[in-house]
Amino acid sequence: MLKTARLAVALCAATLSVTAPAQTNWPTRAVTIIVPFTPGGGTDIGTRLVAQRLSQLRGQPVVVDNRPGAAGNVGLELTARAKPDGYTLVAGNVGTQSINPFLYKKLSYNPDGFVPVTMMAELPFALVVTPGLPANTPKELVALAKAKPGKLTFASSGTGGSPHLSGEIFKAATSTDMLHVPYKGGGAAMTDLMAGNVDMLFASILETTGHVKAGKLRALAVTGTVRSPSMPDVPTLAEAGIQNAESGSWVGLLAPAGTPKEIVDKIAASVKQVVVMPDVKKQLIEQGAIPVGNTPQQFAAIIAQDRKRYAKIIADNHLSAD
C-alpha cells in the first residue's frame, strides 16, 4: 500500500514536471488571432502589426484569421469554442466585449467565456463639428444644445455602435437633448457632416485628422483619458470641463475561458514588449491609437467598467439589435 502511494506521488510529480514547462514554453507552434471584422479596419490593422512583431519576438507564426459577421459575434463564438491552450486568441474591442452583450439579447456564446489578456491599444474618438457651428469648445457646444433642446444633431455610423453610444454618453453627462442621426457607415456620416447637414460626430482620430487639418471640420475634444498624440493640441473632454464623458474604443487580446494563467501572463508580457517597440508605437499612433500593453487584471477591470457604463446607456435609451 505504501509503495503504491509513493508510486502515485512520483507519477504525479513527473506529470507536473512535464506539463508545467510545456505551458510556460508558449508558443511551441503557430498561434491564431481571430479578428472578428473584415480586413482593413482599425482592429485588423493594429492586430496585424502586433502579430507580425509577436511572431518575430517568439519565433513562431502568428496568423491573423478574419472571421467577420454579426458585429463581431461570429468571431467571438469561434474563439469561445476553441481549446483553451493559448494558441487561439481573439482581437476584441469595446463593441464585442462591452456593448454586444447588452445590445444583443440572444448570443450564441457566453460573453463571460473569455479571459482578458491585454489591451494592445486605446482608440479614442474625436468630437468634431461642422465649421459653421457657433461652438469652439465643448462647453460652448453644451450651451448651444441647451439653448436649442432637440435641435442639434449628432451623426453616427449606425445605431448601437460605439460612436453612437459616445454621443449618448455625452448627452447623459451634460444633460442635453440632441437628435441622433444614424448612417449606414462612417463615410456617409462624415460626408454629411462636412456638408453641414448634421452638426457633430464622434469618430476615430484616423478618420478625422486629415479633415481637421484641412479646415473641413473642427475638433473640440478627444474622448479618451489622455490627449491623443495625433491631436496633441486638442484637449480631452475632462480637460475641457466635461466630466464623466470618456468613451471611445480599444483593441485587445482575449483567450477562451480556462486558458492557464501562466500562458495568459506570458502572452500579455510579450505583447507589452511589442507595443513599446519604437516602430510599432509610431505606426499605432499614426493609426490614431495609443499603445497600452497592460496586465490581464488591468484589462479585465477596464472591460468590467465599460460594461457597467454601456449597460446603463443601452437600457436608458431602449436600444436593441434584435
**Residue 196: which CATH number?**
3.40.190.10
What angle, 0 to 180 degrees and rounded to 10, lies between the N-to-C axes of helices 278-286 and 42-58?
170
Query: In terms of residue numbers, what domain contains 36?
Result: 29-123+249-316
Q: Would residue 283 count as lying in a domain? A: yes
Is the same domain home to 137 and 211? yes
pLDDT confidence of residue 17: 45
Instruction: Give pLDDT, residue 23.
Output: 53
* pLDDT for position 125: 97
Q: Which three cell numbers stand for residue 102?
A: 447588452
Residue 17, in any domain of the structure: no
Question: Do 129 and 193 belong to one domain?
Answer: yes
Cβ(224)–Cβ(238) below 8 Å: no
Q: Please indicate, yes or no, whether residues 133 and 210 belong to a single structural domain of this protein.
A: yes
Both ends of the chain: CA-CA distance in Å? 62
Residue at 227 is within a domain: no
Q: Comparing C-alpha atoms, which of 240, 198, 201, 196 is closest to residue 221?
A: 240
pLDDT for residue 322:
78
**One domain for residues 130 and 194:** yes
Co-location of 76 and 146 in the same domain: no
Task: Examine residue 186 and state whether it is found in any structural domain, yes or no.
Answer: yes
> What is the CATH classification number for the domain harbouring 53?
3.40.190.150
| Residue 9 confidence (pLDDT) | 45
> How many other C-beta atoms can be found within 10 angstroms of the C-beta atom of residue 143?
15
Q: What is the pLDDT of residue 108?
A: 86
Within this chain, do residues 116 and 41 fall inside the same structural domain, yes or no?
yes
> Which of 294, 277, 291, 289 has the alpha carbon at shortest distance from 53?
277
Is 51 in contact with 33 (CB distance < 8 Å)? yes
Measuring CA to CA, which residue among 192, 239, 207 is closest to residue 220? 239
The amino acid at residue 147 is A
Q: 45 and 94: one domain?
A: yes
pLDDT computed for residue 12 by the predictor: 52
Strand partners for 250: 122
Per residue of the chain (322 residues), what is the pLDDT tens digit? 444 444 444 445 545 444 445 457 999 999 999 999 999 988 999 999 999 999 999 999 999 999 999 999 999 999 999 999 999 999 999 999 999 999 998 898 899 999 999 999 999 999 999 999 999 999 999 999 999 999 999 999 999 999 999 999 999 999 999 999 999 989 999 999 999 999 999 999 999 999 999 999 999 999 999 999 999 999 999 999 999 999 999 999 999 999 999 999 999 999 999 999 999 999 999 999 999 999 999 999 999 999 999 999 999 999 998 7
| Number of independent structural domains in the chain | 2
How far is 201 from 187, CA to CA, in rounded Å? 12
**pTM beyond 0.85, yes or no:** yes
Within-domain flag for 235: no
Domain closes at, from 180, 207, 222 = 222
- pLDDT the model gives residue 73: 94
Regarding whether 47 and 65 lie in a shared domain, the answer is yes
Last residue of a domain, one of 177, 203, 222: 222
**Cβ partners under 8 Å of residue 48, min gap 6:** 64
pLDDT digits (tens, 9 = 90+) for 109-165: 899 999 999 999 999 999 999 999 999 999 999 999 999 999 999 999 999 999 999
